[in-house]
Amino acid sequence: MVKNSYNPFETAQKQFDRAADMLELDQATRDLLRNPIREFHFSIPIRMDDSQMKVFRGFRVQHNDARGPAKGGLRFHPQETIDTVRALSMWMTWKTAVADIPLGGGKGGVICDPHNLSQIEQERLCRGWVRQVFKNIGPSVDVPAPDVMTNPQHMLWMLDEYETLRGEKLPGFITGKPVGMGGSLGRKEATGYGVIITVREALKELNISPSDTLASVQGFGNVSQYAIELYEQLGGKVVCVSSWNQEDQTSYSFRKKEGVDLKELRSVTNPFGGIDKQKVQELGYEVLPGEAWLEQEVDILIPAALENQITGDNAEKMSKRVKIIAEGANGPTTPDADKVINKRNIFIVPDFLANAGGVTCSYFEQVQSNMNYFWERDDVLSRLDVKMTAAFIAVSDFARSNKLNMRDAAYVISVNRVAQACKDRGWV
């Protein structure tokens, strides 16, 4: 018998069902919020550099827009599925709600591996994606952003195509653009910094100084790199980092017990966050199996790669020393793993709170683009700190007063806000 593979949308729905039960939501509200309000599937024909045509599958899912335009990233990934995009769009709805910003949740994807596409082919793919869906997205409808294996250049190509089709300048259509072309200072740091702002607040609650802690991080993309940067500024030490190796099609963990050197690691990392295994060994790092990041003797774990990484099968491998898990990635922890985490009383900062810094700063970029006035970096990051700290404290206070864990508290707050918006609009 074939074993069913992990389905992130089923996980997202289970998490929603739990919150809906706690809130005692009526059936109509459950039916509305349990599934996307609309979704688009389309084919994108692209002429490749060898003159052959190739057809890519693309998606855009708008989970809910009761609180404002849908907002969410666009992923280029060879294992992309519609259920992954559905799950991520739902998590984006809760993320914008828990951060209390006036946006809804959306997500997009293309099944492709940009490692195997030239720059020209990537540009054609970006423009092709926009052409297929431009009537259903826009500054007041649905605002895309970068996500896994997409970047500011991709966003700029998409903006240019959208403005060409619309015949007007609409920089607020998309976020994550290059600075100087409608992008916001501080955006590249925002998600990683936001994760560590929540870690800082969690450590305060636990009465632990950051300088007394060690951390292990999964992934070495944008989120991880800036999370490590701010964590080290607070005095913490990262001893292990994992990354995906494109050549071997597997992941490895890289450990240095005296602490990783961020600048050193960045010097041997490709634009997709892949650390060069041979070069990093020459720098004195131990090369361990991909899952070893989870097993390190550390106080803080930061999964910042993909979904379904801490599961019922491997959660018991976590060191007894672990006190905090801050989910930099979307959906990295399964419900089965949550049971282990809750039993061990590990303080979890759930994904849609921990990594809400990205969408918060995207919202700042959207505001700046729409009013054609841009803030200084320190202004952006100070506003980010205020928003993330306020969101964390609201969830933490609610969790404590209602005797809930942080994930349940965050879900109850965000689902309640969205459900109320739907009710106020007369949708349910």
Q: Which residues belong to the active site?
A: 107
Q: For the sheet with 237-245, list strands across it.
A: 286-289, 250-255, 237-245, 214-218, 300-303, 324-326, 347-349
Task: For 80, list phi and psi in degrees, rounded to 5.
Answer: -60, 140
Which two tokens mark 227? 């999370």
Instruction: Return the percent helix, strand and coil in the chain, to nearest 5.
Output: 50, 20, 30
Burial code of 165-178, b = ≥16 C-beta within 10 A, e = fewer? eeeeebbbbbbbbe
- DSSP-derived secondary structure letter, 142: E
Choose among 418, 398, 337: nearest CA to 20.
418
CA dist., res. 36 & res. 106, Å (int): 9
Count CB atoms within 10 A of the CB of residue 265: 24
Cβ contact 243:251 at 8 Å:
yes
- Identify the bridge partners of residue 23 per DSSP, sorted by sequence position: none
Which two tokens mark 174? 């998309």
CA dist., res. 228 & res. 86, Å (int): 29
Cβ contact 412:398 at 8 Å:
yes
Which two tokens mark 21? 């039960």
DSSP 307-339: SS-B-TTTGGGS-TT--EEE--SSS-B-HHHHH
CA dist., res. 136 & res. 377, Å (int): 32
CA dist., res. 115 & res. 65, Å (int): 33
